[in-house]
Amino acid sequence: MILNGLRVRWRIFGLLFALGLLAYAQRTNVTIAADRMMPDLHLTQLQIGWIEQAFVIGYALFQLPGGLIGQRLGARRALTLFGLAAFVAVMMIPVAPELLGGTALFMVLVAAQLLLGAAQGGVFPVSSGVFETWFPVRQWSLVQGAQSMGLNLGSAITPPLIAALMLSAGWQRALVWSSIPAILIIALWAWYARDTPREHRAVSTAELSELGEHVHATVAARVPVRRLLRMLRHRNTALLTVSYLLMNYSFYLIANWCFLYLIQQRHFPVLESGWLSVAPPIAGSLGAGIGGVVTGWLCPRLGLAWGFRAVPLLSLPLVGVLLLIAMQTADPYIAVAALAGSFGCIELNEAAYWAASMAVGRSDAMAIGGVLNTGGNLGGIIGIPVVAWLSGRHAWGAAFAIGSLSAVVAALLWLRIDVDEVVTGEAAAGALASARHPA
């Protein structure tokens, strides 16, 4: 009865929520399994860093191409293709050690993570295009924040799940069993999803009317080179991307290295580290949801420019403070709490960044989202080897100090971002300001 009463757009959102959750579980499982992979496969911590780096490189490089593929193929086909490729990549990791060893194994593990990154690179830019097409403008911040909750739930579920499975069945079976649900979600998406509301037979006239003029929104089938260059050169695109890059150094610092930090620096045992490393993504999940609601509430009251700026200007400096507390405190549980609070403050900003990219990108939201997330993941490409090098020399404090400074600079850049100025030259995004009451 409840599902029957849901608007179709919320069922579409539910599938995207699940796809995002599984994507983050897939990307997180190797970072958790690394503690057992290193002795079993004779890998160094620096090699694990390069394996993780391969994911980020593939993920970053495929953001814009993934968005362009989404606009070319449509979200339904594109996300099905991306999901299947990601599943194959994850399965390569536990299977490869049965067939290979030494340098050949290391290269296959790097290739598997590179493929996983490329397969997932288009997921969130394409999701932005789905939101732009399926939801009224007033709900963009809400759905972006809610989807980010799913991403962090995936990160929260994975550490204790993989840690427990590793202890009972070994890391290889842990990776296989935790990835099986992905096939079901991919099949459901391929069967149920459509690229626009008007294509879906279950969408009622009432639901179409709720979209108002936005019901005619489309995703461009292709992006001409001149249009793409105009997007890339625009001030809003550049500032959003650089700010997101800087924020994501701190994101990757906590998301990728928290588990090993708790073992190596704070000396927690593996299983307890698995449970304690759940705290940051749970805080991140709450932060993402709250950020989506708050940003959506602020925009019609403060106007777009300050509505999107307000949360980053308040929360990102707090990220810097909490990272310094985590670094300086002698109490390991206070350090865990500070890391959780810092991650929650980071995720408060996801709705602002992604909804702002939709507001300035409009029908090219997939492409603009790809550019934004390219910058975000450059934060990982830069940060992961830096943290790997510093942590390998027990200089965790320096890694945290860099994250603190990056978060503050990311906040200051928002003062120059004006989302009232649309990158593609379409109708102004100011429609969001008049949309006060989400359905």
| Confidence grade of residue 432 (pLDDT, cut at 50, 70, 90) | very low
Residue 74: what are its φ and ψ, rounded to 5°? 90, 150
pLDDT at 439: 39
Least confident among 156-170, 173-187, 276-290, 315-329: 156-170
> Distance between CA 135 and CA 315 in Å, rounded?
27
> Distance between CA 148 and CA 289 in Å, rounded?
7
> Distance between CA 255 and CA 251 in Å, rounded?
6
Least confident among 42-56, 142-156, 254-268, 361-375: 254-268
Residue 167 lies in a domain: yes
pTM of this structure: 0.76
Over the stretch 218-250, which tens digit does the pLDDT of each residue have?
555 667 777 778 777 888 889 999 999 999 998
Residue 214 lies in a domain: no
Q: Which residues of 228-250 are buried (b: 16+ CB within 10 A; e: fewer)?
A: beebeebebbbbbbbbbbbbbbb
Residue 400 lies in a domain: yes
User: Domain range spanning residue 234?
Assistant: 7-195+223-425
Residue 218 lies in a domain: no
414: pLDDT strictly greater than 50: yes
Q: How far is CA 125 from CA 34, 227, 395, in A?
A: 29, 17, 35
> Distance between CA 409 and CA 411 in Å, rounded?
5
321: pLDDT strictly greater than 90: yes
> Distance between CA 226 and CA 279 in Å, rounded?
45
**What average pLDDT does the segment 379-394 reach?**
80
Residue 290 lies in a domain: yes
Residue 319 lies in a domain: yes
Residue 2 lies in a domain: no
Task: Spell out the residues 6+ positions from residue 130 whose beta carbon is closer than 8 angstroms to its own.
Answer: 12, 16, 75
Give me 200's structure tokens. Answer: 């879906």
Burial of 1 (0-12, 13-18, 19+ CB in 10 A): exposed
Most confident of 32-36, 292-296, 380-384, 390-394: 292-296
- Count of positions (residues) in the chain: 439
1: pLDDT strictly greater than 50: no
What is the number of domains present in the chain? 1
In contact, 56 and 381? CB cutoff 8 Å: yes
| Confidence grade of residue 217 (pLDDT, cut at 50, 70, 90) | low
To the nearest whole number, what is the mean pLDDT of the chain?
Answer: 81
| Residue 72 belongs to domain with CATH number | 1.20.1250.20
Over the stretch 271-280, which tens digit does the pLDDT of each residue have?
455 556 667 7
pLDDT at 114: 92
pLDDT at 11: 92
pLDDT at 313: 96
Burial of 323 (0-12, 13-18, 19+ CB in 10 A): buried
Over the stretch 63-113, which tens digit does the pLDDT of each residue have?
989 988 988 888 899 999 999 999 999 888 888 887 887 888 888 989 998
pLDDT at 132: 84
Residue 294 lies in a domain: yes
